[in-house]
Amino acid sequence: MPRFYILQRQPLREQEWLLDIFSEQDGRLTVVAGPRQRASDMLQLLQGSWSPDQDWPKVRAMECLSQPVLSGVSLYCAFYLTELLTRLLPRYEALPDLFRVYHQTLAGLAQNTVPDPWLRLFEVELLAACGYGFSWRQDDSGAVLQPDGYYRFIPRQGFSPAAEGFRGRDIMDFAARNAANPQAWQIARNILRQAIDNMLERPLVSRELVNVNRYRLKSQPAG
């Protein structure tokens, strides 16, 4: 049976739920779940089966395989990932690599490590899956990035040489996933935000929740 995650759910009819799911095998699709399946939570890795019905496929079986233990900032980061999928993921297109990265990212967030590297790598994979990926090693003309050069980022196009902007070395270090250069990951955050915002029609609710939760944690006294 295919593995999947629930992205959204809403009541449909008495004792039935309409589920927006991300399936490893079939991509994003809408299915109907009965009363026995409605207790399943978002962020659970599920396994199940469905078959054609009147309006939407109907779930015939569903079981939980695993569920990451998330709280605080990590939980809101998971909501951010899920909202990105809901807003940007095309329907009925199998994306097993993106499914794998989503699963790995949730597991990484559950380890209570710094969430930002997990988020950046997921964002890169999501953009590529949606057809908006770009090179972190070449500019928009195909020329190799220069460590001492400066570049501006153009959404849906990539990097373009400029008199000032993002330093080539930082861009290249992110491309190499160089953890020794924190500046590279910070500029990647800014670049990926530009790329994602260009695809959105309205702001992400979950992004504000992440920022507010981070501020609250920083403002708490130590000890």
Chain CA centroid to CA 132, Å: 14
Could you tell me how far CA 22 lies from the centroid of its own chain? Answer: 12
The per-residue pLDDT for 219 is 45
Contacts 24+ apart (CB under 8 A), 179-187: 179/117, 185/116, 185/117, 185/120
**pLDDT for the residue 37:** 61
Buried b (16+ CB within 10 A) or exposed e, 64-89: eeeebebeebbbbbbbbbbbbbeebb
Supply the pLDDT for residue 223: 30
Looking at residue 217, its pLDDT comes to 47
Number of helical H runs and strand E runs in the chain: 6, 8
Q: What pLDDT sits at residue 139?
A: 98
Please give the domain boundaries of the chain with CATH numbers for all domains. 3-66 (2.40.50.140), 72-219 (1.20.1440.120)
Quote the pLDDT of residue 220.
41
Amino acid at 35: P
CB contact burial 139-161 (16+ within 10 A = b; e otherwise): beeeeebeeebebebeeeebbeb
pTM of the model: 0.89
CA distance 213 to 159: 32
Looking at residue 222, its pLDDT comes to 32
Do the strands 158-161 and 150-154 form a parallel or antiparallel pair, or are they unpaired?
A: antiparallel
Q: Give residue 43's pLDDT.
A: 93
| Tens digit of each residue's pLDDT, the chain (223 residues) | 899 999 999 988 888 899 999 999 999 999 999 876 655 678 999 999 999 988 899 999 999 999 999 988 899 999 999 999 999 999 999 999 999 999 999 999 999 788 999 999 999 999 999 999 999 999 999 999 999 999 999 999 999 999 999 999 999 999 999 999 999 999 999 999 999 999 998 989 888 877 766 655 454 433 3
Question: How many other CB atoms are there within 10 angstroms of residue 107's CB atom?
Answer: 13
- pLDDT value of position 42: 86
